[in-house]
Structure 1
């Protein structure tokens, strides 16, 4: 584990404190791929809160503060309404809760597309406010100049190709990408352009497997698959999806647990005990000192 716990006597809560260990860095993530291959795939999960980061940190190489928080945390219909303030606040919480993983924060829709100068201003704000190590942005060759501009000014960038949720209105939905020859060629060329521009890693989302494998072989930086292929250089999922917090999830998600069911049953038991006045009991109340 990357943390130990100390008891705060004023609140009776155990607060995590860092053990002596060095946080992974962006160059180490980039160097994970040598000679076109990785020895051990990278592990990435989404995180939105300090407590979630504490639980995930020891097991992950990268924690992604994804704009998926719009749907997962705020109940929004898509990632489009997510704001800079949302991303900065959640990223800061994840940084505070982690000591090992590289923390990457998504740049929300509308914060980087207009110009490379706008992208720098937005990225600088996110990193200053949160302490995260890098930003992630969506888009292919059209974003390569922006990626290079940010890199030259000290801001590491993770790319994102294939199914790009911020472009859902243009794409017409969340279906898999790369089924046509033209689209497949574009995904590979987009990844190459981002790689040449200096991305330290590229997320490949919702892409038919042969194209995901071809894209992984075509770039020198690590690829992180989500709905792509086990042959990508790493994998990412939305943590709440893989924990079973939602009844319905995308096809590419494997549910490793059914935490949603556990929570519902636990709350039902609590509600029953409250209504029957069996909670709180002697162990949860303070009695006069005789």
Structure 2
């Protein structure tokens, strides 16, 4: 990494300084190639426990393990030069006690090179956030709809409507006062997101929480349109890679069946040509 890239690299304090400034750009990533793709454009890259649903086909985030998060965190780290990498602490890895949370967060940071972790929960987790922050573990909070509590909520429902708004405000304030450097607001009404953003001292990162927040985050596979049947209201699809990929696979299958692939330009001759020799030395194979 060059000296220039070191200067540009995001840190938790730099994220905190963006409160009320230029909105923070955040996306998830779970692999090295995607990390390289998003890194030039993002302030924060989150290795989210959504990896369980997106890449592993799990029905929720609850089955994600610490080992899974570490593996994907290591992959993403290899693809980043400037974005701040944050890793989700999975369900069951931090709720038992602050000591458990520190032990597992320290392991995640040591084995992945991440600069911070993200914990779900508000007032109930504030003591743990304070414990971690005091021991050198930067924490991003997450309130509103917290997917690890999906069974408690009875589904992925909007949180903070009506009198329930005060609960979300209290959670966000507790996270901020405990020492988190930023907080994700997920699936809350716009007016509530605006109020919380105005009341907490740290940046708010919205996902289904309106442009009133200090930044935005989406699951990268959602905004790229890789899932044809998954269209939550809060996601804008910036392209339809799923449709393009399906069409490409269909063409490939047809050409194989019709013996049109591989064509002459994809086949090696008995006497190697210079281009063949170069390809053979590249080390590329299926």
> What's the TM-score, normalizing by structure 2?
0.92
Indicate the residue corresponding to 1:21 in structure 2: 5
Matching residue within 94, 110, 116 for 2:98: 116
CA-to-aligned-CA distance 1:138-177 (integer Å, 9 cap, x gap): 0001111100110111100000000000000001111101
Residue 106 (1) aligns with residue 92 (2)? no
Query: Is 1:204 aligned with 2:204?
Result: no
Q: What CA distance in whole angstroms lies between the structure 2 residues aligned with 1:19 and 1:264?
A: 42
Aligned to 1:31: 17
Q: Deviations over 1:117-143 (max 9, x none)?
A: 000011011111111110001000111
The alignment covers a number of residue pairs equal to: 269
Report matched runs for 1:134-149 at 5 Å: 134-149=116-131
Q: Distance in 1 between matches of 2:161 and 2:18?
A: 30
- 1:250 is displaced (CA, Å) by 1.3
- Verify: 1:230 aligned to 2:211, yes or no: yes
CA distance in 2, matches of 1:141, 1:244: 35
Q: Secondary structure at 2:63's aligned position in 1?
A: coil
The question of whether the paired residues in 2 share the 8 Å contact of 1:67 and 1:106 is answered with yes
Alpha-carbon shift at residue 59 of structure 1 (Å): 0.4
Verify the 8 A CA contact 1:46 1:65 in the aligned structure 2. Answer: yes
Structure having the larger proportion of residues in helix: 2
- Return the structure number with greater strand share: 1
Residue 174 of structure 1: aligned partner: 156
18 and 83 in structure 1: CA distance in 2 versus 1, 3 angstrom threshold: farther
Q: How far apart are residue 18 of structure 1 and its match? A: 7.3
CA distance in 1, matches of 2:267, 2:79: 31
Structure 2 residue 262 is the aligned partner of structure 1 residue 276: no
Structure 1 equivalent of residue 30 of structure 2: 48
Alignment of 1:2-17 (within 5 A): none
Structure 1 segment 62-141 matched on structure 2, within 5 A:
62-141=44-123
Could you say what the CA RMSD is over the residues aligned between the two structures, in angstroms? 1.3
The separation in 2 between residues aligned to 1:139 and 1:194, in whole angstroms, is 8
Deviation of 1:110 after TM superposition, in Å, equals 0.3
Could you tell me how far apart the structure 2 residues matched to 1:220 and 1:284 are?
A: 59
Task: Return the offset for 1:249.
Answer: 2.1
| SS of 2:61 mapped into structure 1 | coil
Q: Hey, what's the Cα distance between the residues in 1 that align with 2:115 and 2:15?
A: 11
Unaligned runs of 5+ in 2: 273-286
Report the TM-score, using the length of structure 1 for normalisation.
0.91
CA distance in structure 1 between the partners assigned to 2:117 and 2:63 by the alignment: 18
Distance in 2, matches of 1:163 and 1:93, equals: 28
CA contact under 8 A between 1:222 and 1:234: conserved in structure 2?
A: yes
Runs of 4+ in 1 over 2 A off after TM superposition: 17-20
User: For residues 59-98 of structure 1, what are the alpha-carbon distances to aligned partners after superposition, in whole Å with 9 as ceiling and x for unaligned?
Assistant: 0000000000110000000000000010000011111111
